[in-house]
Amino acid sequence: VDHQKADWVSIHEKICQLLIPVPTSLPLLLSEKERKHGTEQLVRRQKYIMELSFSRAQQFVWDGKHKEAIPAALHALRFGTQVYGSNSVPLVPAYLLLAEVSACVGSLPQASKYLSQAQWIVLKTPDCSAAVQYQLHRSLGHFYAAKGNFEQALYHLANDVYLASSTFGLKSLETSGGYFHMANVFFHQKKMDIANSLYAEV
């Protein structure tokens, strides 16, 4: 009952009506053109549910409601898998979001699994964009910082800054996020001069 209530509050209420046609298979008596149109409609609907679920989960994270974000993020991953397959780059943001909320609710082993899956997808995709890679390194930086492994955290956050600046520019908001998280790590290490310098840069 608790699980159903959490699912309803998180996302199901928003997508309930959209789910009705999704599981139904297309009748065999339809023409090729009708089947193709039906399949395109189904994929369009699944993409919409994925995007809606992801943005809903993100909104919960921004509001500090990490537990509520989990069912919505899982729906984003589920429908993304149906549309793109189980090892595709468009799933990486959902895995990273699930890793973030798992870490925030104190489940670092689960966060590690989601991060490993995201990392595997990026590694096996040679043409993966820097825009996706910097997000992966930022998430890995957060994860290692949460574990207290500040050297690994700084390594990944430095990669985050490099990739974000090469894609969006040195003075971009995307790059400033990497500086901010690096500053937080230096702050935890009591290296206040470096931390303050990075905060000033942000």
For residue 72, give the nearest of 55, 96, 48, 90 by alpha carbon.
Answer: 55
Residue 2 domain boundaries: 1-17+33-114
Please indicate, yes or no, whether residues 10 and 96 belong to a single structural domain of this protein.
Answer: yes
Render the burial of 192-201: b for 16+ CB within 10 Å, e for the rest. eeebeebbee
Segment 158-197, tens digit of pLDDT? 999 999 999 999 899 999 999 999 999 999 999 999 999 9
Total domains present in the chain: 2
Please indicate, yes or no, whether residues 76 and 154 belong to a single structural domain of this protein.
Answer: no
- The reported pLDDT for the residue numbered 76 is 92
Tell me the whole-structure pTM to 2 decimals: 0.81
More confident residue, 137 or 16: 137
